[in-house]
Amino acid sequence: MRFYVPASCICLCLLTACSTAFDPKQTYSVQQIRDDFTLMRRALLESHPGIYRYTSPDSIQWAFEKAEKQLTHPMTEREFRRTVNPVFSYIRCGHTDVYPSKQYTKYVKKNKPKEFPLSVFWANHQLRITQNRTKDSTLLIGSEITRIDGRPVRQIMQEMWDLIPSDGYNQTFKISVANTNFGSFYRYLYGNDSTFNVTVRDSLGKSRTVKLSFSAPPKVSKKNAPKPVSAPKPNTVPTTTPLPRVKPPKVDKRRSLSISSKDSTVAILDINTFSDRGHRKFYRRSFKKIKEKNIEHLVIDLRANGGGRSDASINLMSYLLDSNYVVYDTIDAVRGRPSFNAYYGGKLLRFAARNFWSRKISSDRIRNRSAAKVLRPNKKFGFKGKVYLLTNGGSFSAAAIFASIIQQYNPRAVSIGRETGGGQYGCNAFISPYVTLPNTKAKVRIPMFKIVLHLPGHDKGRGVMPDIPVEYTYRDVVKTKDLDMDKVYELTQSINPK
């Protein structure tokens, strides 16, 4: 034993040294990247439950062949992912994508890349500057960017959208992600050069080209840090530009209930995620308080809610629906153990889902037992007033499912904002493990179940459309206006004029 501890420490140090030696410029041979691609294609075609949900087999085959034809020379991991990424856009599933390897992710965390020094906002086919973090004061807020490194902006945006999978034919999710992460996607697309040339057009129509540098954010000491004056919550603006914001308490990052300071008959339930486990107690306390305060108008803010646990969103529905309800028509998966199981994560969870939580419906399909389950509303604290759903392109997965069911089955509900990023009739999700490719170690996320919601009509491949659309301009973003809440107050005052 006296030799065991030192030997273990030495092994640990060696392993640590190996893990920090990752080189993002390491290239993989043509055979290696083709082997990874072959496994990726086999896994998607074999086990993805909705690979042909919105795209024909011929189109999927064409997308695979187009990517494969580009695998003709050694590539780095990033180059490989960049090359195969558009395939996932053709699958049209927001839960299916290719991700960096664990080593790559660790490397980036330790060696943070320099940031893109401009915050931008895409709307009305124009890319506008919403924040300038360079030393060039002549780059005015609101100036239109027309080219970057000689590339037309519309070409750049299209290439970014080709890298971002979304449910069906939805575009708001793609635009939301690109606006939020423009600099990261630009580097992913075109490399990590230290400088770039941006062509801008001012309000008078005059164009000029400026050379800018990627730069680290300025370090401000806590002692001299300026205090932000006033700012809305992080998800009130349609793009998360790094403007100064008040740091909310930890609990507010997940969810919060507040009574409006403008109108005491209005309560705002801000749900930033459905991923936590403390939802039941929070909802029970919140709706008890709503009842005690005689609230007439309830705002449920789902903007930038990326989803999470289905039971959390379903539990919230129970406080807003008057009668028994069904959320899912079908929740189906491919039957059997996948041939690539050695590379597929979540083995125990997938085993339980196949053998205990599902039943066989055909020779090649299984159905989750939660499908077609009848649920009961909360009679004690159920809300009977007007409901206002705030959504945008960041409302995804469980958040979109919630908005879809409430919009359909609560006649007192009205949705305000923009089309949800998640599909109106469901998605492919529930359990979404990763396939780790053997050579590049890139990870491919493949959901296990195809979810179809209990709704009339047929799936058109779009998100939940707002009853009252609200669009933002770059001026609204710069001024951090909350046009969605403005519309809520406009509606409440028309019902209860002062």
pLDDT in tens, 195-209: 889 999 988 889 999
Going by their DSSP bridges, the two strands 266-271 and 297-301 should be labelled as parallel
pLDDT score of 193 more than 90: no
**Mean pLDDT, residues 413-433 taken together:** 96
- Using CA of residue 96, residue 460, residue 423, residue 82, what is the dihedral sign? positive
Same domain, 96 and 125: no
**Mean pLDDT, residues 333-342 taken together:** 94
**Mean pLDDT, residues 144-166 taken together:** 95
Q: In terms of pLDDT, which residue wins out, 238 or 27?
A: 27
Same domain, 190 and 294: no
Would you list the DSSP string of 244-258? --PPPPGGGGTEEEE
Answer whether residue 226 is part of any domain.
Answer: no
Contact 95, 432 (CB under 8 A): yes
> With bands split at pLDDT 50, 70 and 90, how would you rate the model's confidence at 227?
very low
**Mean pLDDT, residues 476-480 taken together:** 93
Average pLDDT, the chain: 88
> Would you state the pLDDT for residue 116?
86
Backbone torsions φ then ψ of 373, nearest 5 degrees: -70, 130
**How many CB atoms are closer than 10 A to CB 18?**
10
Please identify, among 213, 237, 262, the residue that sits at the C-terminal boundary of a domain.
Answer: 213
Same domain, 333 and 480: yes
> How confident is the model over 32-58, as pLDDT tens digits?
999 999 999 999 999 999 999 999 999
SS3 304: coil
Same domain, 409 and 297: yes
SS3 365: strand
Answer whether residue 289 is part of any domain.
Answer: yes
**Mean pLDDT, residues 321-330 taken together:** 96
**Mean pLDDT, residues 146-162 taken together:** 95
SS3 392: coil
Same domain, 44 and 161: no
Same domain, 128 and 194: yes
At position 322, the amino acid (one-letter code) is D
Answer whether residue 218 is part of any domain.
Answer: no
Contact 337, 351 (CB under 8 A): no
> Would you state the pLDDT for residue 153?
96
Same domain, 56 and 170: no
Same domain, 314 and 435: yes
Domain count, the chain: 3
Answer whether residue 233 is part of any domain.
Answer: no
pLDDT score of 4 more than 70: no
We report the CATH number of the domain holding residue 200 as 2.30.42.10
At position 88, the amino acid (one-letter code) is F
Please identify, among 76, 101, 126, the residue that sits at the C-terminal boundary of a domain.
Answer: 101
CA dist 27 and 25 (Å) reads 6
Answer whether residue 235 is part of any domain.
Answer: no
Same domain, 205 and 292: no
Answer whether residue 10 is part of any domain.
Answer: no
What are the tokens at 315?
Answer: 């539990």
Answer whether residue 225 is part of any domain.
Answer: no
Please identify, among 168, 189, 213, the residue that sits at the C-terminal boundary of a domain.
Answer: 213
Through-space distance between the first and last CA atoms of the chain, rounded to whole angstroms: 80
We report the CATH number of the domain holding residue 307 as 3.90.226.10
> With bands split at pLDDT 50, 70 and 90, how would you rate the model's confidence at 20?
low
SS3 325: strand
pLDDT score of 98 more than 70: yes
Same domain, 320 and 401: yes
Domain that includes residue 68, residue range:
24-101
Answer whether residue 19 is part of any domain.
Answer: no
pLDDT score of 249 more than 70: no
> With bands split at pLDDT 50, 70 and 90, how would you rate the model's confidence at 215?
low
Same domain, 416 and 344: yes
> Would you state the pLDDT for residue 341?
95
Query: Residue 283 CA to chain centroid, in angstroms?
Result: 24
DSSP 8-state symbol, 137? T
**Mean pLDDT, residues 356-366 taken together:** 95
Same domain, 458 and 412: yes
> With bands split at pLDDT 50, 70 and 90, how would you rate the model's confidence at 276?
confident
Single pTM value for the model: 0.87
Among the listed residues 394, 373, 377, 378, the one whose alpha carbon sits nearest the alpha carbon of residue 451: 373
CA dist 120 and 176 (Å) reads 11
Radius of gyration for the chain, computed over Cα atoms and rounded to the nearest angstrom: 25
